[in-house]
Amino acid sequence: MPSDLWSFTLDFYARPGVEQACLALQASGGNVCALLCGVWLDQRRIPFDPIRAEEIRQLATPWHDEVVGPLRAIRTQWKAAAATDEELDALRERLKVLELDAERELLVRLQRLVQDWPDQAMQTTGAWLEALAGKAASEAPDALHVLQRVGQDAA
């Protein structure tokens, strides 16, 4: 299991079913970077703490809403037109890279926030993921279960 959050995210996202689950949770209002941080914390056996979960939300939400979300919205808005406009498609691809860079920066910031949180030898997994899913957990429960299952398999 990769030790840094970015490498973990790349590895975990590539596992079967994870991408679709993340997209379903994202469509239901979930912050995928925060959710993947939750899976990572569960795997590292960091004891769940609701105050720390709120710290994650306070860091992740503004960055997502003000940086990642607007980039994604423009990229999505251009999708149909870019299919027939080569120059717009090239810009859209550059925007996609920028969106990924913004997500990576958020994950770096999240890792910096949690890097000194102590772990425990025995810890029930899943608590971080459920807490950070928010309303997306009730709107896309099957997707949340996929992340939980794959996270447990990967541990």
Q: What is the pLDDT confidence band of residue 45, given thresholds at 50, 70 and 90?
A: confident
Nearest to 128 by CA among 28, 60, 27: 60
- Residues 6 or more apart whose Cβ sits within 8 Å of residue 44: 119
Q: 60-108: per-residue pLDDT in tens?
A: 999 999 999 999 999 999 999 999 999 999 999 999 999 999 999 999 9
Q: How many CA atoms lie within 13 A of 105 on its CB side?
A: 11
| φ, ψ of residue 133 in degrees (nearest 5) | -70, -30
| φ, ψ of residue 69 in degrees (nearest 5) | -55, -50
Q: What is the pLDDT confidence band of residue 125, given thresholds at 50, 70 and 90?
A: low
Burial of residue 98 (CB within 10 Å: 0-12, 13-18, 19+) is middle
Cα 98–21–99 angle (5° rounding)? 5
pTM exceeding 0.95: no
Q: What is the pLDDT confidence band of residue 1, given thresholds at 50, 70 and 90?
A: very low
